[in-house]
């Protein structure tokens, strides 16, 4: 069987749906400790723009327990409606429970698009939901558009190491699911004069925490947190040249000794060595610290975009021709392991 035939076979197992039965754009709005994640607000802004092109409305979906007035917030940022479920089983985030509730809501209301911020939770929930709804998902989009004729979502994301931009569509299935990293789109202004519809949904069959024997959350322990990259005055940035998660660990030690924080390039985030919210650059955070130290960072334009306003730029790279040196105030050519270990020793002795 050829690859094309195999593809055809996989697709035919998922029969096309009647697209006309599906209307509206949903944004899964993530509340953590009573605060909406910026990435969700940014998606409401984008959803508003897309909704205008296909004359539909924007609905925010909020899950949690004791949500109170928080459910109104998405309206202030551009949603037309909020559908919320307030239930003790949703007090703690448990992926299979949250996904199950979103799937039940989607089966009832039939939205044509569901957007998720590509946070830790969003990255986990979106594929869970997509699989349950037997539909496609495009993760980590950097742009979204919609075709007014077919109402197909144009999901744009870099691929092959960022060398090409893929335009991905879900032409025969609904809803269409996509996730977008925080800060790709701007946060819309908060307008408390906006009005919208608030719908409380009661879901009768929320799976119990232990019900499916999958995951039981015993407790939530907050890990040691360094300041976010956009807030720190000193940022040590790990590039692909550090080679592994252990390399990032070494740089984190350096960042702590300097009283700063750790960031990374896209390659480091894509490799899973660092959380996505620590990415610096065009599709990550824009930073302006007093001191930026780039270690094993080549200096690609998409990265430089996010750090070029730093006051003092230091680059450590084994390649004397690495482009990062063009932007650096101070450059050290060498293997980062030698250089960083020595810096750590110096700082430890200095602090004694
Ligand atoms: C649409 C789009 C958006 C993008 N957005 C971003 C973004 O937001 N942020 C971002 O960072 N990138 C972004 N990229 C990716 C960007 O183009 C580069 O691929 C990326 O920045 C390169 O990361 P890097 O410098 O870690 O890796 P590389 O380019 O692979 O560089 C690794 C460097 O490490 C050096 N090195 C290797 N071993 C050692 C050693 N032992 N000691 C010291 N140095 C060593 C090498 O000489 C090299 O210079 C984007 C790309 C696209 C297409």
Residue 194 and residue 298 in one domain: no
Q: Give me the pLDDT at residue 203, please.
A: 82
Ligand 1 pocket test, pick from 156, 183, 275, 298 with the greatest ligand atom count within 8 Å of Cβ, gives: 298
The total of structural domains in the chain comes to 2
> Does the beta carbon of 329 sit less than 6 angstroms from any atom of ligand 1?
no
**Beta strand segments in the chain, E:** 25-29, 31-32, 35-36, 58-64, 81-86, 113-117, 137-141, 143-146, 153-159, 164-168, 176-180, 197-200, 234-238, 261-264, 291-295, 312-317, 330-333
> Does the beta carbon of 240 sit less than 6 angstroms from any atom of ligand 1?
yes
| Number of residues written out for the chain | 352
Element (H, E) at 39: helix 38-53
> Does the beta carbon of 183 sit less than 6 angstroms from any atom of ligand 1?
no
Residues 6+ apart with CB under 8 A from 66: 86, 91
Residue 104 and residue 165 in one domain: yes
Residue 19 and residue 128 in one domain: yes
Q: For residue 151, give the CATH number of its domain.
A: 3.40.50.620
CA of 164 to the centre of ligand 1 (A): 16
Q: Are strands 31-32 and 35-36 parallel, antiparallel or unpaired?
A: antiparallel
The reply to whether 100 falls in a domain is yes
Residue 170 and residue 35 in one domain: yes
- Give me the tens of pLDDT residue by residue for the chain, a chain 352 residues long: 555 555 555 555 667 789 999 999 999 999 887 889 889 999 999 999 999 999 999 999 999 999 999 999 999 999 999 999 999 889 888 888 999 999 999 999 999 999 999 888 999 999 999 999 999 999 989 899 999 999 999 999 987 766 788 999 999 999 999 999 877 899 999 999 999 999 999 987 777 655 555 667 777 776 667 999 988 999 999 999 999 999 999 999 999 999 999 999 999 999 999 988 899 998 888 898 999 999 999 999 999 989 999 999 999 999 999 999 999 999 999 999 999 999 999 999 886 6
Whose tokens are 């448990």? That residue is 94
Q: Give me the pLDDT at residue 324, please.
A: 98
Ligand 1 pocket test, pick from 181, 246, 266 with the greatest ligand atom count within 8 Å of Cβ, gives: 266
Q: Give me the pLDDT at residue 209, please.
A: 53
> Does the beta carbon of 335 sit less than 6 angstroms from any atom of ligand 1?
yes
Residue with CA closest to ligand 1 atom 7? 281
Residue 145 and residue 255 in one domain: no
The reply to whether 5 falls in a domain is no
- Structural domain span for residue 53: 12-200
Q: Long-range contact list for 163-172, CB < 8 A, 24+ apart?
A: 168/136, 168/138, 170/135, 170/136, 170/138, 172/11, 172/14, 172/16, 172/17
Whose tokens are 């322990």? That residue is 221
Q: Give me the pLDDT at residue 341, please.
A: 96
Residue 247 and residue 171 in one domain: no
> Does the beta carbon of 319 sit less than 6 angstroms from any atom of ligand 1?
yes
> Does the beta carbon of 263 sit less than 6 angstroms from any atom of ligand 1?
no
Q: Give me the pLDDT at residue 115, please.
A: 98
Q: Give me the pLDDT at residue 152, please.
A: 97
Q: For residue 281, give the CATH number of its domain.
A: 3.40.50.1220
Residue with CA closest to ligand 1 atom 2? 162
Q: Give me the pLDDT at residue 248, please.
A: 96
Residue 231, judged by CB atoms within 10 A of its CB (0-12, 13-18, 19+), counts as exposed
The reply to whether 122 falls in a domain is yes
Residue 167 and residue 253 in one domain: no
CA of 277 to the centre of ligand 1 (A): 17
Residue 130 and residue 238 in one domain: no
Q: Give me the pLDDT at residue 213, please.
A: 53
The reply to whether 223 falls in a domain is no
The C-alpha atoms of residue 195 and residue 213 are separated, in whole angstroms, by: 42
> Does the beta carbon of 260 sit less than 6 angstroms from any atom of ligand 1?
no
The reply to whether 74 falls in a domain is yes
Whose tokens are 């800060």? That residue is 183
Q: How many Å separate Cα 60 from the centre of its chain?
A: 17
Residue 249 and residue 186 in one domain: no
The C-alpha atoms of residue 115 and residue 180 are separated, in whole angstroms, by: 8
Name the strands in the sheet holding 164-168, side by side, starting at the edge strand that comes first in the sequence.
143-146, 153-159, 164-168
The reply to whether 3 falls in a domain is no
Residue 180 and residue 276 in one domain: no
The reply to whether 111 falls in a domain is yes
Residue 166 and residue 254 in one domain: no
- Residues 125-138 as b/e (b if ≥16 CB within 10 A, e otherwise) read bbbbbbebbebbbb
Residue with CA closest to ligand 1 atom 9? 281
Residue 24 and residue 141 in one domain: yes
Q: Give me the pLDDT at residue 148, please.
A: 97
The reply to whether 337 falls in a domain is yes
Residue with CA closest to ligand 1 atom 38? 241
Backbone angles phi, psi at 332, to 5 degrees: -125, 120
């Amino acid at each position: 069987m050829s690859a094309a035939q195999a593809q055809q076979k996989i697709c035919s197992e998922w029969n096309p749906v009647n697209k006309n039965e599906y209307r509206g754009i949903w944004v899964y709005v993530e509340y953590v400790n009573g605060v909406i994640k910026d990435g969700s607000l940014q998606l409401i802004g984008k959803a508003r723009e897309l909704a205008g092109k296909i004359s539909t409305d924007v609905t925010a979906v909020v899950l949690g327990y004791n949500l109170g007035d928080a459910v109104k917030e998405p309206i202030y940022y551009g949603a037309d409606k909020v559908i919320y479920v307030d239930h003790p089983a949703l007090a703690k985030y448990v992926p299979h429970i949250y996904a199950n509730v979103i799937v039940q809501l989607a089966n009832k209301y039939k939205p044509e698009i569901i957007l998720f911020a590509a946070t830790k939770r969003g990255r986990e929930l979106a594929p869970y939901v997509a699989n349950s709804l037997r539909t496609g998902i495009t993760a980590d989009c950097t742009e979204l558009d919609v075709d007014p004729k077919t109402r197909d979502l144009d999901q744009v994301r870099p691929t092959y190491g960022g060398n090409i931009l893929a335009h991905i569509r879900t032409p025969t299935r609904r809803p269409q699911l996509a996730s977008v990293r925080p800060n790709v789109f701007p946060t819309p202004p908060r307008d408390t004069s906006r009005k919208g519809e608030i719908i409380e949904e009661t879901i009768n069959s929320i799976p119990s925490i232990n019900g499916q024997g999958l995951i039981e959350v015993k407790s939530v322990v907050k890990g040691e947190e360094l300041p976010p990259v956009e807030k720190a005055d000193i940022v040590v940035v790990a590039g692909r040249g550090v080679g592994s998660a252990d390399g990032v660990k070494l740089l984190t030690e350096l960042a702590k000794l300097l009283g700063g924080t750790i960031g990374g390039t896209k390659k480091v985030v894509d490799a899973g060595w660092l959380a996505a919210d620590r990415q610096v650059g065009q599709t990550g955070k824009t930073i302006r610290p007093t001191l930026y130290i780039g270690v094993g960072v080549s200096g690609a334009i998409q990265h430089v975009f996010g750090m070029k306003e730093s006051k003092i730029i230091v680059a450590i790279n084994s390649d004397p021709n690495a482009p990062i040196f063009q932007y650096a105030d101070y450059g050290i050519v060498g293997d980062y392991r030698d250089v960083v270990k020595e810096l750590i020793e110096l700082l430890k002795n200095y602090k004694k």
